[in-house]
Amino acid sequence: MAAEIKFGTDGWRGVIAWDFTYENVRRVAQALADYINENAPSDENGKMAKVFVGYDHRFMSDLFAADMASILRSNKIDVTLSDGPVPTPMVSALTLHKFWLGIIVTASHNPAQYNGIKVKLAGHSAAARETKEIEQLVDANPVLFLFGQKAEQKNLTDLYRKYLITPALAKKIAALKGLIVADYMYGVTSGWMEKLLPNNKILALHAEHDPTFCGLQPDPSLKNLGELKKAVLAKKAAVGVAFDGDGDRFGLVDEKGNYVTPCLVAAVILDHLVKTKKLKGKVVQTLSMGYLPKRIARENGLSYEEVPVGFKNVAELMGLEEVAFGVEEAGGYAWKGGPSDRDGLGVALMWLEIMASTKKKPSELCEEVAKRYGASVYVRRDLPAAKPIDKAAFVEKMRKKLPKKIAGFKVAEISTLDGVKVYFENDEWLLVRPSGTEPLVRVYAETATKKDTQALLDFGEKLVAQYIK
């Protein structure tokens, strides 16, 4: 079935054998070939910039990637195909110096029946204007797929390992007391913590290659980390870290077995960088992120900006302005001098470095931040959508339904940047928006107490009731 190709918050995704088919993947590959041939720079000898194609552990990802690479070769593009599954952040890192553009076949954290394609440029996801241009090139030309045009395959994982960690940092982290439990969620980061740190420091969970993810969704959010929490407690581990299916998202469990929200993870990292690295510049986050980074920016005289959901919006601004720190609520983080794109392994190493530098446990780091900048109880509810949602109509309808006071909080401001976000007087907030990657309506809220956050979530769920199953 020739589906309409639309890039969401990070790439194009579809259900395998329904809309993610050989036919549609080849259409996207030809559009990418046309985009590359129109836009890629050439050196002084007329040699075109290089392209890298990678793939994850999902069903048939390697075959789809090989097809894409062959189509690029057929279009006279200098392309290298990975010789095995690789994390998405590795593809991003390769586009900083070695390749002009990177492509990876992955559906990130989506369930096993999905697959997808992400495009990377200059170290991060292609911007909306770039993916729009690729969309417009779909079917502009027939697919050119010549017999025998196989791409050269290479193993470039050592470059990524050196990008992530230095021997000095590895030694510093290795001195931490206690085990590090790594939940790979059957994804493509399996075995990577052992490549970066001594094997006797790592207890691995869900490291097998299973394209079905053993029935789990490879998303390192609270609902999926029950086994990680149990393992941290059972082994009296120092910390638990988790990675999504393609390795760009990160989750954390403290030494007490408690899930640490991205709001607190971001706050600890940003506060550490400001205090120890004297970080300067703008703090940028997606509007679905919590208020602690905003408060840290405010207290330390840093400028602050919110962007629509999708880390590509953070990364694009980081490429254009003097941005010190960027974050999204789905577990993506980047900072000046660190990863240029969201990178689960990079964030895990940063968190371990902070623990090693401060000699403090994860719970102690979180308590310090909460004491200084205020408590944060952040929760997101994902509600299955009953039917496709017209986002513009959704936003207009939700905005009109809002009262001046919600669950005892006085409305201070309303934003329709991406969905409808309601800001209250002391930074508390409520957001309702259709997902850009899955058939869901998401409801988010953050206050200083569990009771107030739940009250805002309940209101948000009632507000969107007509759109959910």
Residue range 66-88, pLDDT digits in tens: 999 999 999 999 999 999 999 99
Write the pLDDT tens digit of every residue in 195-248.
999 989 999 999 999 999 999 999 999 999 999 999 999 999 999 999 999 999
Burial (CB count within 10 angstroms: exposed 0-12, middle 13-18, buried 19+), residue 146:
exposed
Q: Which residues neighbour 142 within 8 Å (Cβ) at sequence distance 6 or greater?
A: 30
Burial (CB count within 10 angstroms: exposed 0-12, middle 13-18, buried 19+), residue 15:
middle
Nearest C-alpha neighbor of 423 from the set 440, 401, 406: 406
Q: Which residues neighbour 262 within 8 Å (Cβ) at sequence distance 6 or greater?
A: 289, 290, 327, 328, 329, 330, 331, 378
Q: How far apart are CA 433 and CA 415, in angstroms?
A: 12
Q: Which residues neighbour 167 within 8 Å (Cβ) at sequence distance 6 or greater?
A: none
CB-based contact 193:204 (threshold 8 Å): yes
Nearest C-alpha neighbor of 52 from the set 89, 109, 91: 91
Label residue 387 by pLDDT band (50, 70, 90): confident
Query: Between the CA of residue 447 and those of 192, 258, 284, 375, 377, what are the distances in Å?
Result: 36, 19, 20, 8, 6
* Higher-confidence position of 337 and 430: 430
Residues 332-370, buried b or exposed e (16+ Cβ, 10 A)? bbbbbebbbbbbbbbbbbbbbbbbbeeeebbeebbeebb
Q: Which residues neighbour 356 within 8 Å (Cβ) at sequence distance 6 or greater?
A: 172, 173, 175, 176
Write the pLDDT tens digit of every residue in 396-409.
999 999 999 999 99
Provide mean pLDDT across the span 448-453: 96
Write the pLDDT tens digit of every residue in 149-193.
999 999 999 999 999 999 999 999 999 999 999 999 999 999 999
Q: Output the six-digit token pair for 60.
A: 């048939």
CB-based contact 415:423 (threshold 8 Å): yes
Provide mean pLDDT across the span 298-313: 91
For residue 325, is it left (φ>0), alpha (ψ between -120 and 50) or beta?
Answer: beta
Prediction pTM value: 0.90
Q: How far apart are CA 254 and CA 174, in angstroms?
A: 18
CB-based contact 377:453 (threshold 8 Å): yes
